[in-house]
Structure 1
């Protein structure tokens, strides 16, 4: 959803994460999750190395990486919101 900021006279993009689903993509070594800008689905992929940096010493298996994502979900979502700029791009990588 885009809102007009009257003080700046520009559009502000609102990105929501109503779906708590996430999945591990072993071939890309990342956790995928989805955000929504109105009805547009935006795919985010967070590199498993970045997640392991949040919790050093964690394993590299799917269960461990998803556990770190779940533990730091709010932090990852904040990073995603800052990275998202709207427009035609519908896939973002966080590393």
Structure 2
């Protein structure tokens, strides 16, 4: 079954400086975390994010389709119980 993202919720993780979100593969929840550095690279931002909640959540919302595409690709290549997306996952 394909990974999809029917729930648009996401949350900021202050301790790890990034955003948590959840995908679904059939009946299974698949947790993801994207690091703030990955949000910077994915957005091709001219200035770095300050890794604040507002910056990270805004960047995530703008980049949601691209982030979901990368999450699907990674999940399809290596099945795990959870995933961390980092800057090297974005081209």
In which range does the TM-score fall when normalised by the shorter chain?
A: 0.7 to 0.9
Q: Give 1:52 deviation, angstroms.
A: 1.8
Inter-CA distance 93–87: structure 2 relative to 1 (3 Å threshold): closer
What is the Cα-based RMSD across aligned positions, in Å? Answer: 1.7
Q: Secondary structure at the match of 1:72?
A: helix
Query: Is 1:16 aligned to 2:7, yes or no?
Result: no
Relative contact order higher in (CA < 8 Å, ≥ 6 apart): 2
Give the aligned partner of residue 5 of structure 1. Answer: none
Give the aligned partner of residue 52 of structure 1. Answer: 40
Structure 2 gap segments, 5+ residues each: 87-91
* TM-score computed with the length of structure 2 as normaliser: 0.82
Structure 2: distance between partners of 1:43 and 1:35: 6
Q: Which of 1 and 2 has greater Rg?
A: 1
Say which structure is richer in helix: 2
The count of residues paired between Structure 1 and Structure 2 equals 83
Structure 2: distance between partners of 1:50 and 1:88: 20
Structure 1 gap segments, 5+ residues each: 2-13
Task: Give structure 1 regions of 4+ aligned residues with deviation exceeding 3 angstroms.
Answer: 85-88
Aligned mate of 1:82, from 53, 73, 80: 73
Say which structure is richer in strand: 1
Give the aligned partner of residue 14 of structure 2. Answer: 26
